[in-house]
Chain A
Amino acid sequence: MEKIFTQTPSLYNVSTHYCPGCGHGIAHRLVAEVVDELGIREKTIGIAPVGCAVVAYDYWNFDCSEAAHGRALAVATGIKRVRPQNIVFTYQGDGDLAAIGTNETIHAANRGENLTVIFINNAVYGMTGGQMAPTTLLGQKTSTTIEGREKQNHGYPLKISEMLALLPGVYYIERVSLHAPAEVLKAKRAIKEAFENQINNRGFSLVELLSPCPTYWGQTPKEALDWIRNTMQKEFPLGRIK
């Protein structure tokens, strides 16, 4: 019988620490599958973020570095410039990439660094207990927006991908989602494209993944998937941005 689903070498055979219904496990798996399909495991260097995915290197079976919160793209720049023959990617959440690290994000993109960015947008700070993220939707309740995010006090959900698309140094940006099997497949195709771009020296590529956080959305895993489908993707429309 033909095996159509099996372990992938770039992912260790261990359980993750993620909450039930969290999107990180799927996103980790997609990155690992792409790395293996492209045959680049032995030259890949990943940058783990500060946040729930800080120990991503406990799951990925290739070289990894941590970075200070928000500095992943500066660290990645240092690594890639020293070792242009390696494949270097960052894996960052919304707070990391679009709040504390906005400067590093914009400037790495603007320099056209030949890097791949996996951007997990779950509209909340997970690791620290569900505070407002730059991508938190208007009306969304978090531990620091108890009555829901209001534009008067908290500003608007930051569309960093659309902002980055304006920069001439950016080669590829796409927003995908993890809320349904068909979307997961599309997400994998986008991640693969972002890695292929780096292999072909095309420059800065970023894939934004809308990713469920049932714990800090106060929802069941099923409700969280529905919330992405019915609510979140209205604010963050899926598809190729650049």
Chain B
Amino acid sequence: MEKKKILISGNEAIAQGAIQAGCNFYAGYPITPQNEIIAYMAKNMTKSAGVFIQAESELAAISMVYGASAAGARSMTSSSSPGISLKQEGISYIAGASLPAVIVNIMRGGPGLGNIAPAQSDYFQATRGGGHGDYHLIVLAPGSVQEAYDLTRAGFDLADKYRIPVMILGDGILGQMMEPIELSTKKNKANPQKSWALSGCKGRKPNIVKSFFLREGALEKFNLSLQKNYEIIRKKESRYEGLNLSDARVVLVAYGTMARIAKSAISQLRGAGKRIGLIRPISLWPFPQAPFNIKNKKLKYLALEMSYGQMVEDVRLVVNGRNPVEFLGRSGGGVPTEEEIINKIKRIL
């Protein structure tokens, strides 16, 4: 069967993926550079019998998502960096109440109001939980418009499977650029029966959705159950792409848009006979461990970021001193260029 190909922006691909995944609740608040998502959802959610709400704030939008998820819906919100900071309150509550939800962050420059240029400077916020408390999100970082579509669809299944908030972490370039993508005809798993959801207590004991554990020891017990869940996710849900790892002298580590620029640099250098590889983490939490298991003492890693040294900390943790880890990053609207990457590689080779 011939697959249907369409030309679409990253933001719209995320929205399209969400609808195909069975997302039946979306609440959001406008912010650049992700406005195509909210517009697409406004236009298409009602067609698919879902609920669309333009909320009064990011705080309200994420709390609406909390409510919809508590009621058993597949729900999503989207925003960009300053808006995601506001959503941290609700994300922590969603994690604390073990609710599934998908949160999209199309990152822009920060801190503060920053600018609307693409950035990756919310890496710490995304991968360390972001709000208060001991929790994690599954964080998926698409590197193409196709992957934005695919990972959003996967995100809904993961959120339901582990009862965890899932973040799709892109940047302004990925959100705005258009690429042809193959629409999948495969359906997502159906929204599962959620015995814990709020639906009215007919024929059962009341369900309570909560994150408040006042009795001594109760919160610790709950937090340990979260940790157990995270341990399973670490083992099973790590995703990455590896390129030329077997013979590499320098392995670049980059995600999202940064990884695309890294690939261009690699193809130039390999043309010139340089052995350069790439690890592209696709899940940023859990951060992939397996591809770093390269037994070569002469190998150097080079972490590339559109931020000033965030992901590189995870690279150093996993490499654990076995090999040198170098860093190149720009932020605040600056994006490392192919030339800058090539010059840096030449310096460390």
**Interface residues in chain A, defined as those with a beta carbon under 8 Å from any beta carbon in chain B:** 41-45, 48, 54-55, 57, 60-68, 70-71, 74-79, 81-83, 86, 103-104, 106-107
Contact = CB atoms under 8 A, between A and B. Distances in A.
A55 B63 contact: no
Contacts of A106: 56
B264 interface: no
Contact of B67 (A64, A74, A103): A74
B311 to A, nearest CB: 30
A163 B25 CA distance: 30
Given A42-B201, A63-B201, 20 more contacts: A42-B202, A45-B71, A45-B198, A54-B212, A62-B200, A63-B198, A63-B207, A64-B206, A65-B208, A70-B59, A71-B60, A71-B90, A74-B64, A77-B67, A82-B72, A83-B72, A83-B198, A103-B57, A104-B60, A107-B56
Nearest to A54: B212
Contacts of B199: 63, 83, 86
Contacts of B75: 78
A75 B202 contact: no
Interface in B62-83: 63-73, 75
Contacts of A43: 200, 202
Given A62-B206, A68-B90, A71-B59, A78 B200 contact: no
B198 A79 contact: yes
B93 interface: yes
Contact of A66 (B51, B61, B210): B210
Contacts, number: 137
Given A62-B200, A71-B63, A74-B55, A79 B210 contact: no
Nearest to B24: A82
B177 to A, nearest CB: 32
A190 B138 CA distance: 46
B259 interface: no
B211 interface: yes
A86 B200 contact: yes
A230 to B, nearest CB: 36
Nearest to A65: B209
A231 to B, nearest CB: 34
B27 A57 contact: no
Interface residues of B, number: 41
A65 B210 contact: yes
A66 B209 contact: yes
A75 B25 contact: no
B89 interface: yes
Contacts of B69: 78
B218 to A, nearest CB: 12
B97 interface: yes
Contacts of B59: 68, 70-71, 74, 103-104
Interface string B11-43: 000000000000011010000000000000000
B86 to A, nearest CB: 12
A65 B28 CA distance: 21
A60 B214 CA distance: 18
Contacts of A57: 206, 208, 210
Contacts of B68: 78-79, 81-82
Contact of A104 (B56, B71, B210): B56
Contacts of A41: 201
A81 B208 CA distance: 19
Most chain A Cβ neighbours within 10 Å, of B25, B55, B61, B71: B71
8 contacts: A54-B212, A64-B210, A74-B66, A74-B67, A75-B70, A78-B64, A81-B68, A106-B56
